[in-house]
Amino acid sequence: MSLIAILASAFASTLTFAMSTPLLSVRLEAQGHSGSMIGLNTSVEAAAILLFTLATPTLARRLGVANALYLGVAIMTAAIALLPVWNSLEGWFVLRFVMGAGIAIHWVIGEVWLNTVADDATRGRVVGLYVTTMSAAYCLGFPVLMMTGTEGLLPFYLITATVAASALPLIFARRLIPSLPTEPAAHYATLIRRQPTLMAAAVLNGMLINAILAFFPVFADRMGASERAGFGMLFAIALGNVLLQLPIGMLADRRDGQHGRMLLILMAVASAAGFLLLPMVLGSYAAWPLLTIWGGSFGGLYTVGLAMVGRRFGANDLTAANALFAFTYETGTLVGPIIIGTGIDFWNPYGFLAAGSGACFLFLLIAATRRV
């Protein structure tokens, strides 16, 4: 029952995020705002997530885990419901910051609950199922938005109802929501020193996912592919993230302990290979299976990393470790598009490949150095 509640709530909240981000970008563009202003407005939400991931453990200890979860959903619902009411650039800066705070609270506590429910024998599979659920919600968000359109109030009504519905499974399972330790957890700097490879994997995963979402269609277009083909290939990447996380989680369960870092290294090698092989297969049928495996490989960094967080940190440190893992992931989503975009500017269009594979090799260096 706990796992069903977590997955149902995560699906609804992720679907909300997947629909609201492109919707707001399209609406701002229709209002005549520049690309840089749209990007800045979007980054406010990420900045709030960064800030509140680290504040969530303290908030949960003071309010109680269940109350903090309900607060996160309430904040998201209220912010989204007010978007068409406070329909101005200034208002959306405020509301998107508030929305990011709610997302962070819901995200961190949900993953702590997930790691509490899972045991070491099945943790990888449970996390794989969780990441698969969120990936499926991302894939579904675009078609739903295409059906509702981006004009009028209907998409806002649907998004508000969806995020509000994410509270229902939490209410039904409220007696199963775990409590957090009352004593303070280890300092965040201490947690990073204990498991730098895990946190570096989260940064790399956030960087690759956000940068590829933003720049893969641009890269495909500059390589001569049509816009339709570019978005089709992006869907193949997302599909790989949906299909392969459960098998990767099962593999993580079989290769526990010291082999977890090796599995992260394998995911990073596959991610780097995907970047390097792209120019050779783009435009051929071989591109589609490569893109599917590629999407699953860098998505697997999150699956394996989150499972290892549950194994490597004790009960007293688990909440802070989950918050730090989310924080480092979100850091990657912020810096990734900047690094990849700069790479494309310097070496068009191959900077996309150079910057992406370079980030993978930097992670491999960190992992190898840590192992030595």
According to the per-residue pLDDT averaged within each range, which of 61-65, 317-321, 326-330 is highest? Answer: 326-330
Looking at the chain, the whole-number percentage of residues with pLDDT higher than 70 is: 95
pLDDT of residue 119 exceeding 90, the answer is no
Residues contacting residue 165 through CB under 8 Å, at least 6 positions apart = 12
Domains, the chain: 2-173 (1.20.1250.20), 188-371 (1.20.1250.20)
Least confident of 61-75, 100-114, 168-182, 340-354: 168-182
CB contact at 8 A, 268 and 364: yes
Query: What integer pLDDT is reported at residue 188 of this predicted model?
Result: 78
Query: What integer pLDDT is reported at residue 293 of this predicted model?
Result: 95
Contacts of the segment 228-234: beta carbons below 8 A, 24+ positions apart: 233/287, 233/288, 233/291
The model carries a pTM of: 0.86
Residues contacting residue 140 through CB under 8 Å, at least 6 positions apart = 15, 18
pLDDT confidence bin for 360, thresholds 50/70/90: very high
Instruction: Give the C-alpha separation, 236 to 290, whole Å.
Output: 9
Contacts of the segment 29-37: beta carbons below 8 A, 24+ positions apart: 30/150, 31/89, 33/89, 37/89
Per-residue pLDDT, averaged over 23-38, amounts to 78
Query: What integer pLDDT is reported at residue 342 of this predicted model?
Result: 85
C-alpha separations of 296 from 12, 88, 284, 303 in Å: 22, 38, 20, 10
pLDDT confidence bin for 371, thresholds 50/70/90: low
CB contact at 8 A, 294 and 239: no
Per-residue pLDDT, averaged over 9-22, amounts to 81
| Burial of residue 369, with CB atoms counted within 10 A of its CB: 0-12 exposed, 13-18 middle, 19 or more buried | exposed
Per-residue pLDDT, averaged over 92-120, amounts to 87
Peptide bond before residue 155 is cis, with ω within 30 degrees of 0: no
Query: What integer pLDDT is reported at residue 258 of this predicted model?
Result: 56
Instruction: Give the C-alpha separation, 363 to 264, whole Å.
Output: 10
Higher pLDDT: 347 or 40? It is: 347
Instruction: Give the C-alpha separation, 202 to 366, whole Å.
Output: 13
> Which tens digits make up the pLDDT trace of 332-341?
988 888 888 8
Distance between alpha carbon 94 and the CA centroid of its chain, in Å?
Answer: 22
pLDDT of residue 257 exceeding 60, the answer is no
Instruction: Give the C-alpha separation, 145 to 162, whole Å.
Output: 13
Higher pLDDT: 327 or 144? It is: 327
Least confident of 19-23, 34-38, 66-70, 180-184: 180-184
> Which tens digits make up the pLDDT trace of 191-220?
888 889 999 999 999 999 888 877 888 888
Higher pLDDT: 135 or 275? It is: 275
Higher pLDDT: 113 or 94? It is: 94
Higher pLDDT: 157 or 61? It is: 157
Peptide bond before residue 217 is cis, with ω within 30 degrees of 0: no
Six-digit token string for 92: 């959306």
Query: What integer pLDDT is reported at residue 152 of this predicted model?
Result: 81
Query: What integer pLDDT is reported at residue 270 of this predicted model?
Result: 96
- Give the position of tokens 């509000």: 164
Higher pLDDT: 99 or 35? It is: 99
